[in-house]
Amino acid sequence: MANAKTEQMAVKAILGGTFNPPHQGHIGAALSAADKLGIQDVYLMPCKLPPHKSVDVTQAHRVNMIALCCEHNQRLKQELIELSLPSPSYTVKTLRELRKSNSDTICFFIGADSLYNLDKWYEWQQLLDYCHLVVMRRDDEVFSPPSSVSSWLNEHVATDSNVIYKLSHGKVLLVETPLFPISSTELRASLSSNASSDVQLRSDTNINVSNWVSNPVLEYIKENQLYKS
């Protein structure tokens, strides 16, 4: 048991994203997946945004909101390496740099929707040279990756989650996570009209912004008037 614990501490779980804003829909799923894999901490890694993409907030604001998330939940940590790398940014390049500077095994978390589009990622078939890929599947959805990804997935998928403590990279793990029916787009739309915590996101539910965005982040959004139209 002591050896297993030592190996477990060497695994670094990373959740990438724009974090615009950071919210429970992504972070809650990642923490749930980490629990199932026996991983304590999840590192939030903000990505660079391409020049052609419309961005509501600056990079500095995104980093500050991530820092507040980490202060609010001690299981969350920051990983800002991609922001310091030359453009254009690609996940495989970021993972390659992480591999150079980390002796830990890297588990890179993505949603099932990202897996379905994985063949459109730059050098996607090299991702597993640097990490294990953890695919977060919502427990109520039909899992149906396209044929262009299925054969690759069948070759690399692991049925034993302990593989992340035995191999440094090369496997895909499918982990079921709770359903978090929210998106960044919905949150930004609500925050754009009114940044208060009592805004309902959809008229057919009782979901409020404060259910999805931590209080420190929500206060930061209000204070800096982010997402105002």
Question: Is a pLDDT exceeding 80 seen at residue 193?
Answer: no
- What are the tokens at 228? 């105002």
Q: Residue 226 above 80 pLDDT?
A: yes
Domain residue extents for the chain: 2-181
201 falls in which pLDDT band (50, 70, 90)?
very low
With a cut of 80, say whether residue 187 has pLDDT above it: yes
Mean pLDDT, residues 154-172 = 96
Between 217 and 211, the more confident residue is 217
pLDDT digits (tens, 9 = 90+) for 53-107: 666 789 999 999 999 999 999 999 999 999 999 988 899 999 999 999 888 999 9
Average pLDDT value for the chain: 87
pLDDT digits (tens, 9 = 90+) for 124-159: 999 999 999 999 998 777 888 999 999 999 999 999
The DSSP 8-state label assigned to residue 52 in this structure reads: T
Superfamily in which the 2-181 domain is placed by CATH? HUPs (3.40.50.620)
Q: What distance in Å separates the CA atoms of residue 123 and residue 62, rounded to the nearest whole number?
A: 27
Q: How far is residue 12 from each of residues 44, 83, 105, 138, 202, measured CA to CA in Å?
A: 11, 19, 6, 22, 36
Query: Which tops the pLDDT comparison, 227 or 175?
Result: 175
Retrieve residue 157's tokens: 């998928």
Give the per-residue pLDDT at 216: 95
Q: How many CA atoms lie within 13 A of 133 on its CB side?
A: 23
What's the pLDDT at 206?
A: 43
Spatial separation of the C-alpha atoms in residues 86 and 89, rounded to whole Å: 7
User: If we measure between CA atoms, which residue out of 97, 83, 94 comes closest to residue 46?
Assistant: 83
Which residue blocks in the chain are alpha helix, DSSP H?
2-8, 24-37, 59-72, 91-101, 112-116, 147-156, 184-193, 209-212, 215-224
Q: Tokens 């990438």 label which residue? A: 16
pTM of the model: 0.88
- The strand pairing partners of 135, in sequence order, are 110, 174
Q: Does 94 or 10 have the greater pLDDT score?
A: 94
Name the pLDDT band for 229 (thresholds 50, 70, 90): low
